[in-house]
Copies of this chain bind each other. A is one copy, B any other.
Amino acid sequence: MTNTAPTRKRRKDDRPGEIITAAFREFDEKGFGRSTMAGIAERAGISRTTIYLYYDTKEAIFEAAIRGSVEVTIDIVAGMAKDANGDFRTVFARAIDLIYARLVSDEGGVILKTLVAEGSAMPDLILFYRQEILSKGEAAIRALIERGIINGELSVACRGDDVRVFVAPAIFAALWLRIFHKIDPLDINAFKEAHVRLVTDGLLARP
């Protein structure tokens, strides 16, 4: 048997997803700026010019990826709202779990990193991400806190605080993983627990 490997395949429906997956690996390793269509094509195992049949530019691939993460966000926010009846510590810990799972994942992390890197050059995407992803998550956290205040669990003082402070360590952790983790590992679970403990209790000893 000669066993000549098929030189080409035709897979119109699968291509977009394959290209995005390949692009993520390329963006992650090289950074968006140094990534090329040729590099993405190679990882996807197709010819460079094939990509143009589906996406016009690198930016278009990235945009498609971001738009795809809108539904993921909706799921996460829904997950936060579900079973939000426990005490604040429990509910918040669950919310933080969901956020970390997303941001620590390759997809969420690379999107975040790429937005930081190239955001100034793509104002439309920045706006989209802000409106469809970040503000949804922010509102969900705000709701949790408001519930806690009404419960009497949380001090009223924190109503005026910028909600972003409470989630910031998660973003920090996601970026750390992509940049310093190889030379200086970060224990995600320990960090996550410290995060939750900080937000609920703070550092000062309670009398």
Contact = CB atoms under 8 A, between A and B. Distances in A.
Interface residues of A, number: 65
Given A166-B198, A172-B168, A152 B205 contact: yes
Interface stretch (A45-53, A67-75, A111-119): A111-119
A200 B203 contact: yes
Most B-side CB within 10 Å, residue of A115, A145, A168, A178:
A168
A126 interface: yes
Nearest to A193: B161
Contact of A204 (B33, B115, B154, B187): B154
Contact of A121 (B31, B148, B161, B203): B31
Contacts of A164: 169, 172, 176, 186, 191
Contacts of A191: 162, 164-165
A184 B117 contact: no
Contact of A203 (B145, B176, B204): B145
Contacts of A169: 164-165, 168-169, 172
Given A31-B118, A123-B182, 5 more contacts: A115-B179, A119-B180, A158-B203, A162-B194, A201-B204
Interface of A: 28-34, 88-89, 113, 115-121, 123, 126-127, 130, 134, 145, 148, 152-155, 157-158, 161-162, 164-166, 168-169, 171-173, 175-176, 178-180, 182-184, 186-187, 190-191, 194-195, 197-207
